[in-house]
Amino acid sequence: MKKTILITWWTGYIWSHWVVAFEEAGYKTVIVDNLCNSSVDTLDGIEKIIWYKPDFYNVDLRDKNTLEEVFKKYDFDWVIHFAGLKAVWESCNKPLDYFDNNIVWSLKLFEVMEDFKVKNIIFSSSATVYDSSNFWKWEWVDEKWITWNTTNPYWTTKFILEQILIDLSKFSWFNVMNLRYFNPIWAHESWFLWEDPEWIPNNLMPFIMKVAKWDLGELKVFWNDYDTIDGTWVRDYIDVVDLIDGHLKAYENISEWFNTYNLGVGKWISVLEMIKKTEDIIWKKINYKIESRRKWDLAEVFCDDSKAKNILWWKAKVSLDESIRNSWKFYNK
DSSP code per residue over 123-187: EEEEGGGB-GGGPPTTPPB-TTS-B---SSHHHHHHHHHHHHHHHHHHHS--EEEEEEE-EEE--
Average pLDDT for residues 48-59, to the nearest whole number?
87
The reply to whether 92 falls in a domain is yes
- pLDDT range class, residue 80, cuts 50, 70, 90: very high
The reply to whether 327 falls in a domain is no
Q: Which residue has the higher pLDDT, 210 or 195?
A: 210
Nearest Cα neighbor of 74 from 50, 57, 52 is: 57
* pLDDT attached to residue 185: 85
The 3-state DSSP class for residue 261 equals: strand
The per-residue pLDDT for range 15-37, each reduced to its tens digit, is 677 788 889 889 999 999 887 76
* pLDDT attached to residue 146: 86
* pLDDT attached to residue 9: 74
Q: Which domain holds residue 243?
A: 4-185+237-264
Q: How many residues does the chain have?
A: 333
* pLDDT attached to residue 2: 77
Number of structural domains in the chain: 1
The per-residue pLDDT for range 231-276, each reduced to its tens digit, is 999 999 999 889 989 999 999 998 889 999 999 999 999 999 999 9
**88 C-beta neighbours (distance < 10 Å), count:** 17
The reply to whether 288 falls in a domain is no
Cα-based distances in Å from 153 to 55, 88, 102, 148: 32, 8, 10, 12
CB 222 within 8 Å of CB 297: yes
The reply to whether 89 falls in a domain is yes
* pLDDT attached to residue 49: 80
| Secondary structure tally for the chain: helices H, strands E | 12, 14
CA–chain centroid gap for 238, Å, is: 10
CA angle (29, 35, 38) in 5-degree steps: 95
Residue 46 has pLDDT above 90, yes or no: no
What's phi and psi for 102, nearest 5 deg?
A: -75, -40
Residue 74 has pLDDT above 50, yes or no: yes
- The rounded distance, in Å, linking the Cα atoms of 148 and 150 is 5
Cα-based distances in Å from 164 to 105, 146, 159: 13, 17, 9
The reply to whether 93 falls in a domain is yes
Nearest Cα neighbor of 299 from 203, 252, 209, 235 is: 235
Nearest Cα neighbor of 245 from 12, 24, 39, 96 is: 24
The reply to whether 313 falls in a domain is no
- The rounded distance, in Å, linking the Cα atoms of 111 and 107 is 6
**267 C-beta neighbours (distance < 10 Å), count:** 17
Question: What dihedral do alpha carbons 97, 102, 104, 106 form, nearest 10°?
Answer: 170
The reply to whether 16 falls in a domain is yes
Average pLDDT for residues 276-305, to the nearest whole number?
91
Residue 154 is a catalytic residue: yes
* pLDDT attached to residue 304: 93
The per-residue pLDDT for range 118-175, each reduced to its tens digit, is 999 999 999 989 987 765 555 788 999 889 888 899 999 999 999 999 999 999 999 9
- Residue 10 belongs to a domain with what CATH number? 3.40.50.720
* pLDDT attached to residue 12: 55
CB 243 within 8 Å of CB 310: no
* pLDDT attached to residue 238: 94
pTM for the full predicted model: 0.91
- pLDDT range class, residue 308, cuts 50, 70, 90: very high
The reply to whether 147 falls in a domain is yes
Residue 107 has pLDDT above 80, yes or no: yes
Catalytic residue among 154, 226, 237, 331: 154
β-sheet with 300-301: strand ranges across: 269-270, 234-235, 300-301
